[in-house]
Amino acid sequence: MKNSNRILLIFCLPAFLLYSTFVLYPALGGFWYSLTNWNGLDPTYGDYVGFSNYKELLGDENFKQSLLFTSKYVIYMVILQNIIALLLAVIIESFEKTKNVFRTIFFFPNMISMIVGGFIWLFIFTRVFPYLADTIGLMILDESWIGNPQYSFYSILILSLWGSVGYLMIIYIAALQNIPKQLLEAARIDGASKLQINWHIVRPLIANSITIGVFIALSTSFKVFDQVYALTGGGPGRATQVVSLNIFSEAFAMQSRFGYASAKAVVLFVLILGITLIQLLVMKRKEVEM
Amino acid sequence: MKKLFILMSVLVSVFVITGCENNEDDLREVELDVFMSFPRFQEQFEDYFELFEQKMLEEENIIVKINLEMPSSDTAQQLLQARLSSDDAPDVYTLHAIADIPDYYEAGYLADLSDAEFTNSVYDSVLESVTYDGKIVALPLESLAWGYLYNKDIFAQYNLTPPQTLSEMEEVVNTLNANDQTPFLLAFQESWIPQLLMALSLGGMINSEEPNFIENMNSGTGSYADIDEVFGIIDLIMENGTERAFETGGAAGSADFANGEAAMWVQGPWMSGSILDVNPDMNIGLAPLPVTNNPDTTMINLSTSTSLGVSPTSENKDIAIKLVNFILDAEHSSDLFAELKFNPLSSVHTYDTFPWVDEAMAYVAQGKAYLEKGLPNGVTDETALMLQEYYLGDKTKQQVIDAIDAAWQSAIDNQ
């Protein structure tokens, strides 16, 4: 091994140690629990039950339902989050003086914990909207934003987009700023229209940022928890129960089946791993290097 | 700082009184970790534990330092279970008498308190609820006489009295509707609240008409279809309730109820504090919920919820048990319980009770009451979710029955 590589490895060590203690070790532990019938309480960690938790998962309608709901959420989020973030980035970059102000405003929600953001929006949906509907007659707001499953899906989307778009926007702004000015100028002199410049020059040059953007949106929205927990708690009933919430309630509510919940978590992990790997492979191919 | 100052001054006075016989080695120092899911009572308990610290120093020459941890009740159970199973048990902690004691005891997390001093003064009926496997394993804190809440002023205005049968309840509802008064408050945002409908009506049924229900369910021969009369009152309440039920949580519901938005609320006396915060003049009434036209099904639920257990692995178990005893201290306990608006549960309690407690106790005296029985884990949670969906119309009565039956069955299978 080259000396410089060894030094680099040593520099990684502290981070790796922390990562192993707080992420790898619990994750492996979780896999072990998924093979037991531990109830989260028993000091002997339950009995080994083999793969029976996984077998039971196949027939679990509530888990399937929550997977479907999460997939729908992921599709909406990946598309909307990236489109809105990119649009915001383009628009804000075109401002001259107020650039920084708007950048801060749109990034701001990202700095608030989503639980807090959730409670803020819960108040807006349950108190402010009905108030607006009653007093100034904005009847479009007079819906059950939390109680009607059809609308509460959009409530969750609104909250999640509000909280996460700013982060991707910063990535896209950085990508846009990295595009060499001379390329754009040359294209303009050659008579390319705005649309043509955006499609043929800007798009390929920010492709690697789009890969990152889609990757972040995919992996975070599969794991969505706090937004839903704060806003609807998965309700009414199980109408907005996402996978992580289903896992959480299996482990800490219901019958406290920690082992079974761990099996669900392992399945979710494998799913996210698979889908993001495919996404990275496909999108990496389309990137160009300068 | 204030705490430190008190501690120091007490220390000094102890030295003076005992003529400085004690050198510092004689002072035992003890730290106790206390875990309680009562953030709303943080101040009261901090003050109370300060009294305990003083008492221990004066009487037994022990410096006790109490580390009080008060997570919110949503997360308390997760935190507690994580700490218990990672060998980091708090010395004293709160748990639910009926829902938690069996599991916690079986896992070996509860010390036997049968010989503790408090057991002599607690009423027998309450003591029964914290007894498991023949041993007293916790100190009861919150003991409840539970029925639905009603607004006494609204009832008086329309000359109504709490109905004792389902058809009497229908008449009350009709009278209220005719006077443009919404009969029931619905606050369904938190799923445990609609679940109370089932808890109260089921309790009425299985303690009168269907006494074998739990045994039948446990042996796999029963079904919620056997007690589907409960849907009579559940439907009546859901059809005659306030709007925007899913936009209303417990706190908002208390405010609405205090402001007279509805005449009745299927909630419990534990909400009295937050209702009176909004409207201190509110006349809260409490009555048993009628289930069928048989008045025998109309009963008050007697139960114990939050209790205080001691960890058997505590390094200072003797002091931990003294602390638990101190909760029912003859001199101070009445003040604490009165301030917390808890029901009296021991002969040391001499404070005036609240009107709704007296009202409930009048029914208890007539024998219209039963002791809460525990349901298998997960059944209550499933009921909560199903009733939300039932109210939405997403689930039919039959689907609700099937889902709860399945949850019960799976709880038995996984035991």
User: CATH number of the domain that B286 lies in?
Assistant: 3.40.190.10
Q: Can you give the pLDDT at residue A129?
A: 86
Q: Is A191 on the interface with B (CB under 8 A)?
A: no
- My answer on whether B213 and B277 are in the same domain is yes
pLDDT at A81: 94
Q: Smallest Cα–Cα separation from A253: which of B378, B374, B389?
A: B378
Coil, helix or strand at residue B311 = coil
Same domain, B392 and B247: yes
- DSSP letters of A175-216? HHHTS-HHHHHHHHHTT--HHHHIIIIIHHHTHHHHHHHHHH
pLDDT of residue B10: 57
Contact A235 B85 (CB under 8 A): no
Check: CB of residue A178 under 8 Å from CB of residue A119: no
Residue at B333 is within a domain: no
Say if A46 is an interface residue toward chain B (CB within 8 Å): no
Residue B338 included in any domain: no
Q: Name the pLDDT band for B289 (thresholds 50, 70, 90).
A: very high
B32 and B179 fall within a common domain? no
Closest CA of chain B from A39, distance in Å: 9
- Determine contact: A128 vs chain B, CB below 8 A: no
Residues B63, B209 within the same domain: no
Contact A147 B104 (CB under 8 A): no
Contact between B105 and B132 (Cβ < 8 Å): yes
Between CA B19 and CA A77 the distance in angstroms is: 74
Quote the percentage of chain B above a pLDDT of 70. Answer: 93
Of the two residues B189 and B2, the one the predictor is more confident about is B189
The whole-angstrom separation of Cα A214 and Cα A219 is 9
Asked whether the beta carbons of residue A235 and residue B388 sit closer than 8 angstroms, the reply is yes
Among candidates B107, B389, B392 on the partner chain, residue whose Cβ is nearest the Cβ of A43: B107
- How many CB atoms lie under 10 A from the CB of residue A223? 16
B237 and B277, same domain (yes or no): yes
B398 falls within a domain: yes
The interface predicted TM-score of the complex, written ipTM, equals: 0.75
Least CB–CB distance from A237: residue in B103, B377, B385: B385
What's the confidence (pLDDT) of residue B7?
A: 57
**Contact between chains at B103 and A236 (C-beta distance less than 8 A):** no
**Sheet order of strands, B184-185 included:** B184-185, B264-265, B148-151, B284-287
| Chain B residues close to A39, C-beta within 8 Å | 103
**pLDDT classification of A86: cutoffs 50, 70, 90:** very high
The answer to whether residues B174 and B109 belong to one domain is: no
Average pLDDT over residues B47-75: 88
**CB-count burial class (<10 Å; 0-12, 13-18, 19+) for A11:** exposed
Which residues on A lie below 8 Å from B406 (Cβ)? none
A50 touches chain B (CB under 8 A): no
B165, B250: one domain = yes
B interface mutation test: which of A22, A36, A39 has the most B CBs within 10 A? A39
Q: Return d(Cα B182, Cα B173) in angstroms, integer.
A: 8
pLDDT tens for B11-45 read 555 555 554 444 455 678 889 999 998 887 888 99
Spell out which residues of chain B touch residue A60, defining contact as CB-CB under 8 Å: none
Class of domain A59-285: mainly alpha
Question: Could you tell me where the DSSP H helices lie in chain A?
Answer: 3-19, 25-33, 52-58, 61-94, 99-111, 114-123, 129-136, 149-177, 181-189, 194-197, 203-205, 207-222, 226-231, 243-252, 258-285
Query: Does the pLDDT at position A74 exceed 80?
Result: yes
How is chain A split into domains, by residue range? 59-285
Per-residue confidence band for B51, with pLDDT thresholds at 50, 70 and 90: very high
Contact between chains at A249 and B191 (C-beta distance less than 8 A): no
State how far the Cα of A82 lies from the Cα of A177, in Å rounded to an integer. Answer: 17
Looking at residue A231, its amino acid is: L
Numbered residues of chain B with Cβ closer than 8 Å to any chain A Cβ: 77-78, 81, 84-85, 103-104, 107-109, 188-191, 244-248, 252, 376-378, 381-382, 385-386, 388-389, 391-392, 394-395, 407, 410-411, 414
Cβ-Cβ contacts under 8 Å, B415 against chain A: none
Q: How much is the average pLDDT of A178-188?
A: 88
How is residue A108 written in tokens?
């701001």
Do A37 and B85 lie within an 8 Å CB cutoff? no
Mean pLDDT for chain A overall: 87
**Residues from chain A contacting residue B394 (CB–CB below 8 Å):** 149, 236-237, 239
Of the candidates B384, B411, B407, which has an alpha carbon nearest to the alpha carbon of residue B198?
B384
Q: Are A275 and A215 in contact (CB under 8 A)?
A: no
- Of the pLDDT bands very low, low, confident and very high (cuts 50, 70, 90), residue B305 is confident
Q: Is residue B401 part of a domain?
A: yes
**Nearest partner of A78 among A203, A222, A209, A175, judged by Cα:** A222
What is the band of B9 on the pLDDT scale with cuts at 50, 70, 90?
low
Cβ B334 vs Cβ B349: under 8 Å: yes
**Contact with chain B for residue A47, Cβ under 8 A:** no
Q: Is B227 exposed, middle or buried (0-12, 13-18, 19+ CB in 10 A)?
A: buried
Claim to verify: residue B127 and residue B195 sit in the same structural domain? no
The position carrying tokens 């619990």 is: A26
Does A144 sit within 8 Å of B247, measured CB to CB? Answer: yes
Contact B85 A147 (CB under 8 A): no
At A39, which amino acid appears?
N
Q: Does A149 touch chain B (CB under 8 A)?
A: yes
Shared domain for B6 and B55, answered yes or no, is yes
Q: How far apart are the first and last CA of chain A?
A: 30
User: Which of A39, A236, A249 shows the shortest C-beta gap to B246?
Assistant: A236
Based on the structure, what is the number of domains in chain B? 2
Cα dihedral B68, B72, B76, B82 sign: negative
Q: Dig out the tokens for A224 from the structure.
A: 């969505």
8 A C-beta contact, residue B1 and residue B7: no
Cis amide linkage into residue B140, ω under 30° from 0? no
Angle, helices B192-206/B379-392, rounded to nearest 10 degrees: 110
For the cut 90, the answer to whether the pLDDT of residue B75 exceeds it is no
Check A41 against B104: CB less than 8 A apart: yes
User: Chain B: nearest CA to A163, how far in angstroms?
Assistant: 22
CB contact under 8 A, B109 and A41: yes
- The mean of the pLDDT values for chain B is 87
Condensed to tens digits (0 to 9), the pLDDT of residues B349-382 reads 888 888 888 888 888 888 888 888 878 878 888 8
Q: Comparing A90-94, B71-75, B303-307, B386-390, which segment has the lowest mean pLDDT?
A: B71-75
Contact criterion met (CB below 8 Å) for B166 and B233: yes
- Residue B148 is predicted with a pLDDT of 93
- Report the C-alpha gap between A42 and B184 in whole angstroms: 42
Separation between Cα atoms, residue B337 and residue B97, nearest integer Å: 18
Buried b (16+ CB within 10 A) or exposed e, B290-321: bbbebbebbbbbbbbbbbbbbbeebebeebbb
Report chain A residues whose CB lies below 8 A from the CB of B376: 255
Identity of the residue numbered B101: I
| CB-based contact, A238 to chain B, within 8 Å | yes
Touching check for A10 and chain B: CB below 8 Å?
A: no
Most confident of A49-63, A160-174, B69-83: A160-174
Domain-embedded: residue B119: yes
* Displacement of CA A234 from its chain's centroid (Å): 17
Instruction: Confirm whether B80 is domain-assigned.
Output: yes
Mark whether B381 and B239 lie in a shared domain.
yes
Contact A102, A108 (CB under 8 A): no
- Those of residues 84-123 in A touching chain B at CB distance below 8 A are none
Write the residue in B81, B391, B410 that is nearest to A41 by C-beta: B81
State the pairing for strand pair B92-96/B28-35. Answer: parallel
How many percent of chain A have pLDDT more than 90?
34
Given a contact cutoff of 8 angstroms between Cβ atoms, the answer to whether B361 and B354 are in contact is no
pLDDT, tens digit, 9 for 90 and up, residues B241-252: 998 888 888 888
Decide: A88 and A165 in contact? Cβ < 8 Å. Answer: yes
Does B167 fall in a domain?
yes
pLDDT tens digits along A110-129: 888 888 999 899 888 888 88
Residue B358 lies in a domain: no
Same domain, B41 and B154: no
Residue-range definition of the domain harbouring residue B272: 145-302+363-413
What residues of chain B lie within 8 A of the CB of A149, using their CB?
A: 392, 394
For the sheet containing B369-371, what is the strand order?
Answer: B143-146, B300-304, B369-371
Measure the CA–CA gap between A155 and A141, rounded to whole angstroms. Answer: 12
Which chain B residues contact residue A253 at CB under 8 A? 378, 381
| pLDDT on residue A80 | 95
pLDDT tens string B158-215: 999 999 999 999 999 999 999 999 999 999 888 888 899 999 999 999 888 888 899 8
**Is the alpha carbon torsion for B80, B85, B91, B92 positive or negative?**
positive
Q: Are residues B135 and B164 in the same domain?
A: no
Size of interface A-B (CB pairs under 8 A): 93
